[in-house]
Amino acid sequence: MLKHFQQKTRAILRGLAAATLGFVLVANAYAQDFGAQDMGAEDMGAQELPLQEEKTVALAIDMELVSQTLARAETLDRLHALIVAHKGEPIVERVFRGPNINHPVNIKSASKTIISALVGIAIEEGLISGTDAPILPLLEARAPAELDPMVDMITIDHLLTMRAGLERTSGQFYGPWVLSPNWVRYAVSRPFVGLPGGGWLYSTGNTHMLSAILTDASERSTLELARTWLGEPLDVNIPPWTRDPQGTYMGGNEMALSPRALLAFGEMYRSRGVSADGEQVVPASWVKDSWAPKTFGRGGQLYGYGWFISQVEGHPIYFAWGFGGQMLYVAPTLNLTIVATSDFMTRSVQDGYRCALHGLISQGFAPAVIHGGAANTRMPMAARSWMYPELGGRRCMGGRFEAGLPG
């Protein structure tokens, strides 16, 4: 038994070393508008990359292109609501079908981005020591006694970045998980199909474990934390949502926010964690960490702490993505925040609907800001962000379904 564990540990360490080296080498080619230090470069003594200042962006917005893009949006029969804000002011605010703009709607896996924000605040409050904290001591009251020894290696970072190594609880594994009598025990007891800190394995069980950790560390429900830490300073309503059999609010799915509430959350991130009233809601350092590429998902997708990462014409686009097409896009260098809510009962990947939503941004609203008007001003670019995958990009070629993504 001991010999088997030692062999397993050596194999893990070799795998982690190779994975870390490979990602650091690639990550040195990436950075974002806060710098490169959170992608492993700092540990290697690298300097923070400077911002590029040669990209020109129009002061005006090409409203004709905005109107054309809005006309395209009107043809999407699953699109419910669309808000496009520039510098915090809506230039598009439409409800095509479904509830009104202030009514909470199920944002599905975009909930993972909200959970990430709560984790960042919890770390700032000293409730969690940091992203390198092992999860097992934080789940001590919930985890079963008999676990694979590799669970000891899983950290908060691994849960946030979908790199726990455990068999997923999303996709075809979702049903058995939510039908289990104890969601946390089920998730942490999954067999290992990868290494902690290794490849990306998209799993709602990871963010549900984070919800349990938040609840236990704070002795308050995740709903109460969300309302106190986010709802109150952003002046948005956060209604109760699904709970597991033990009463813990589901981490990473089924949260409900109105399109305007989702916009307020995105605007806060665009402003480096500061609300419209000037309150520091999420630490600026957490926004920086969340938007730094940490890993690669399927199709070359970049992922941080609950945010997908891409670019349009070199401008970084960070987005939250929920099943069916519940989307929040933030483009800091373009001063754009965009919300789209959709029918949440139908997959957005298989028939190209997700790509159609991406196209509204990559071919419409973003270029309308980049190329609009005659008077141009220079705007800083995220360092090397033109090397991020394009929004949609080859993942939208042919509409091929990608297993393990929100759908």
Q: What is the pLDDT of residue 52?
A: 38
The tens digit of pLDDT for each residue in 6-57 reads 444 444 444 444 444 344 434 444 433 333 323 322 222 222 323 333 344 5
The tens digit of pLDDT for each residue in 58-70 reads 558 999 999 999 9
Confidence of residue 297 (pLDDT cuts 50, 70, 90): confident
Domain ranges of the chain: 2-396
Picking from 83-87, 268-272, 358-362, 384-388, which range would have the lowest pLDDT averaged per residue? 384-388
The tens digit of pLDDT for each residue in 300-328 reads 679 999 999 999 998 999 999 999 999 99
- Structure-model confidence comparison of residues 48 and 3, the more confident one: 3
Picking from 1-10, 300-309, 361-370, 393-402, which range would have the lowest pLDDT averaged per residue? 1-10
Q: What is the mean pLDDT of residues 247-276?
A: 98
As assigned by CATH, the class of the 2-396 domain is alpha beta
The tens digit of pLDDT for each residue in 127-154 reads 999 999 999 999 999 999 999 999 999 9
Q: What is the pTM of this model?
A: 0.86
Answer yes or no: are the C-beta atoms of 318 and 330 closer than 8 Å: yes
Q: What is the mean pLDDT of residues 108-116?
A: 97
Confidence of residue 88 (pLDDT cuts 50, 70, 90): very high
C-alpha span between 336 and 369 (Å, rounded): 9
Q: Is the dihedral of CA 135, 219, 261, 381 positive or negative?
A: negative
The tens digit of pLDDT for each residue in 155-205 reads 999 999 999 999 999 999 999 999 999 999 999 999 999 999 999 999 999
Q: What is the pLDDT of residue 404?
A: 43
Burial of residue 181 (CB within 10 Å: 0-12, 13-18, 19+) is: exposed
- The whole-chain average pLDDT of the chain stands at 84
Q: Which residues of 293-329 are buried (b: 16+ CB within 10 A; e: fewer)?
A: bbbbbeeebbbbbbbbbbbbbbbbbbbbbbbbbbbbb
Closest alpha carbon to 204 in 165, 245, 159: 159
C-alpha span between 29 and 71 (Å, rounded): 38
C-alpha span between 305 and 289 (Å, rounded): 7
